[in-house]
Amino acid sequence: MHDVVISGGGPTGLMLASELRLHGVDVVVLEREAQPNPAVRSLGLHARSVEVLALRGLLDRFLAHGQRYPGAGRGLAGLEGATVELDSDHDYVLGIPQPTTDRLLAERAAELGAQLRRGAALEAFQQDADGVLVLLAGGDRLRARWLVGCDGGRSTVRRLAGIGFPGEPASTEWLLGEIELDGSVAPEEVARIASEVRVLHRGFGIGPAGDGLHRAVVPAASVAEDRTVPPTLEEFRTQLRAYSGTDFGVRATRSLTRFTDATRLAERYRAGRVLLAGDAAHVHPPLGGQGLNLGLQDAFALGWRLAAEVAGWAPPGLLDGYEAERRPVAEQVLTLTRAQSELLSPEPGPQAVRHLLGELLQLEPVARLLAGRITGLGIRDEPAEGDDDPFDLVGRRMRDLPLGDGRRLSDLTHAGRGLLLDGTGTLPLEGWPDRADRVALAPDRAALPAPALLLRPDGRVAWAGDDGEGLERALERWFGEPQPASDHLSGAVG
């Protein structure tokens, strides 16, 4: 019996596999496709995703393949707001094509010992009190204690788990291609036509994509009945001509895919031993470049909670806290994309709202609120009632900090364990040696925003203060019952 089977080897499933492997969880990722998806869907990562990579020591390998765009990606449907500086070392969009992101995440999952089975499609499952029996196309069976559906917007797991997916169906479909042009239309002419068409049709676009290719997006003639069938080159050409009067001399494609403006959110993220993450839990049009970021951060929030459940120390409610934390974040993203869809409408009403919002966005607090949502830095896992929170930090992500001893916070988070940063030098952490580490810091040198901080494995603040009792309550709430004294092996890395 495996600990966890993940259905879907996209970015969410691969990130989750790595997070689980950090805790020694036996995990298998099933991926239906035999080969990685070549389609460049996501083009970039927002600041919180970049921070997440830094927390796990992965950022250098992503930076080596990406480009930093400081302050980018903060607008709303093309409306730019006042310039705001974010409280992060990574105040930029990291431009990196999705196939590269997927590859780097797959490499990392493999390094950590996750099994990725390509060409393996989950077809059915049955769950009982102890686990889930997973049936693959072709007849193979696997048994696991938990199943996570990271199998995209048309998730088989979600459907078979009977989890509703309410929202709005697709009203518009777009075709997206990475295409090769024959050179019959000069580059300046391609750019001129594109900007002319975009005056009326903001959903249209064509521009260079590197490697001598162009990336083009064009509305489809209608919403396809069977969205599993990829568009044909002929269909793509026809739509290019319909919108711009030319097919730009497209002669071949590296990838051709369709997407829609369907907007839906799973009713629940859990049904017994089955969980959902990423596009399997939420879909929306790609306005603002949010989906992959949301999925990565779902995986980051879920991994340690599920690992705790597998290890047997999860306190009550820890796993369900995943849905409580992440579903409202997805709801906010859906609100953002719904609003952007409206703002793109040429109708007078939405145009009036657009005008007004453009003015409001010049106000620094408005631009800051929006930037916090778009980048994911503003997300807060609401503190529970009764949480002591004199520093107003609980539930917020802790930014990277210099620790005053040559190290930074992000040097201590690679293993995904809890972390007590103790600037008082007096706080004990004996009972949780297998779950959290204590680092004693010199308060005059470390840039701590409180005398001591307890961080969850996902980098969020579980507690901030200086009293041992408050700390112990937070430890029990997030890391479960302490081990008996005789079982303590270690507990300090400082």
Ligand X SMILES: Cc1cc2nc3c(=O)[nH]c(=O)nc-3n(C[C@H](O)[C@H](O)[C@H](O)COP(=O)(O)OP(=O)(O)OC[C@H]3O[C@@H](n4cnc5c(N)ncnc54)[C@H](O)[C@@H]3O)c2cc1C
Residues of this chain that interact with ligand X (CB under 6 A) are 7-13, 30-33, 37, 41-44, 98, 121-122, 150-152, 156, 176, 259, 278-279, 286, 289-293, 295
Alpha-carbon distance 190 to 213, whole Å?
13
Q: CB of residue 123 vs ligand X: minimum separation in angstroms? A: 7
Can you state the angle between helices 11-21 and 98-111, rounded to 10 degrees?
A: 20
Alpha-carbon distance 234 to 208, whole Å?
21
Exposed, middle or buried by CB within 10 Å (0-12, 13-18, 19+), for 328?
Answer: middle
Residue 116 or 454: the one with the smaller Cβ distance to ligand X is: 116
Q: CB of residue 295 vs ligand X: minimum separation in angstroms? A: 4
Residue 107 or 389: the one with the smaller Cβ distance to ligand X is: 107
Exposed, middle or buried by CB within 10 Å (0-12, 13-18, 19+), for 195?
Answer: exposed
Q: CB of residue 361 vs ligand X: minimum separation in angstroms? A: 21
- 3-state secondary structure at position 167: strand
- 3-state secondary structure at position 69: strand
- Using CA atoms, how far residue 410 sits from 414, 416, 459, in Å, is 7, 11, 9
Q: Measuring CA to CA, which residue among 431, 446, 444 is closest to residue 494?
A: 446
Residue 144 or 462: the one with the smaller Cβ distance to ligand X is: 144
Give the per-residue SS3 of 45-59: ECHHHHHHHHHCCCH
Contact 388, 471 (CB under 8 A): no
**162 Cβ contact list (under 8 Å, min separation 6):** 271
- 3-state secondary structure at position 13: helix
Alpha-carbon distance 192 to 174, whole Å?
21
Q: CB of residue 6 vs ligand X: minimum separation in angstroms? A: 9
What tokens were used for 43? 């083009």
What tokens were used for 315? 């306190």
What one-letter code names the amino acid at 229? V
Residue 291 or 321: the one with the smaller Cβ distance to ligand X is: 291
Q: CB of residue 100 vs ligand X: minimum separation in angstroms? A: 13
Q: CB of residue 12 vs ligand X: minimum separation in angstroms? A: 3
Q: CB of residue 141 vs ligand X: minimum separation in angstroms? A: 14
Alpha-carbon distance 32 to 35, whole Å?
9
Q: CB of residue 491 vs ligand X: minimum separation in angstroms? A: 35
**319 Cβ contact list (under 8 Å, min separation 6):** 270, 305, 306, 308, 309
Residue 134 or 409: the one with the smaller Cβ distance to ligand X is: 134
Q: CB of residue 217 vs ligand X: minimum separation in angstroms? A: 7
- Using CA atoms, how far residue 473 sits from 46, 215, 225, 416, in Å, is 34, 53, 54, 21
Q: CB of residue 276 vs ligand X: minimum separation in angstroms? A: 9
Residue 286 or 431: the one with the smaller Cβ distance to ligand X is: 286
Residue 226 or 347: the one with the smaller Cβ distance to ligand X is: 226
Q: CB of residue 430 vs ligand X: minimum separation in angstroms? A: 40
Residue 218 or 420: the one with the smaller Cβ distance to ligand X is: 218
Report, in this order, helix, strand and coil percent for the chain, each rounded to 5: 35, 25, 45
Contact 238, 248 (CB under 8 A): no
Residue 11 or 395: the one with the smaller Cβ distance to ligand X is: 11
Cβ neighbour number for residue 183 with a 10 Å cutoff: 10
Bridge-based pairing of strands 122-127 and 214-219 is unpaired
Q: CB of residue 222 vs ligand X: minimum separation in angstroms? A: 18
What tokens were used for 57? 């020591």
Contact 143, 131 (CB under 8 A): yes
Place of tokens 């004199």: 390
What's the distance, Cα to Cα, between the start and end of the chain in Å? Answer: 37
Q: CB of residue 134 vs ligand X: minimum separation in angstroms? A: 9
